[in-house]
Amino acid sequence: MKKYFLGLLLFTFSFCASAQTKRNPKHKKALVHTVYFYLKNKDSRSAKDSLYQGILTLLDIKEIQEAYVGSPAATRRSVIDFSYNYSTTFIFKNKEEQDAYQNHPIHLKFVKNYSHLWERVQVYDAEGL
């Protein structure tokens, strides 16, 4: 009886743990850093290409656990802002890793070399609950 109960308890615990994983991001306490870039010259192919190449240099920063780089999707609803040119979403283990990223030489070089291209940058940082 004890073995059966223990097995049932372990099954229940593992089921609940996997259900918890599905409800929350796998990096439960991670810091998610999302940046939207709005170019000064929105239609300039060279500005877009240059900024994109600059964004790719950021991916060499080891503190970034996961990265997603994108541009506006072809969805058009009243609640969607599609006026930006590129977005980046970087996942860090914690705030300290994100702080290290902010002060990393590659990030500082990126801001110095590419900030002349954008008219606005909007940042959203989120922490897991």
What CATH class has 27-127? alpha beta
The residue among 87, 57, 61 whose CA lies nearest residue 72 is 87
**106: its two tokens:** 């590659």
Across the beta sheet with 31-39, the strand order is: 66-70, 86-92, 31-39, 118-127
Identify the three-state secondary structure at position 121: strand
Describe the crossing of helices 105-114 and 45-58 by its angle, rounded to 10 degrees.
170
The pLDDT profile of the chain, 129 residues, written as one tens digit per residue, is 444 444 433 343 444 444 444 444 566 789 999 999 999 999 999 999 999 999 999 999 999 999 999 999 999 999 999 999 999 999 999 999 999 999 999 999 999 999 999 999 999 999 988
pLDDT at 29: 80
What's this model's pTM, rounded to 2 decimal places? Answer: 0.78
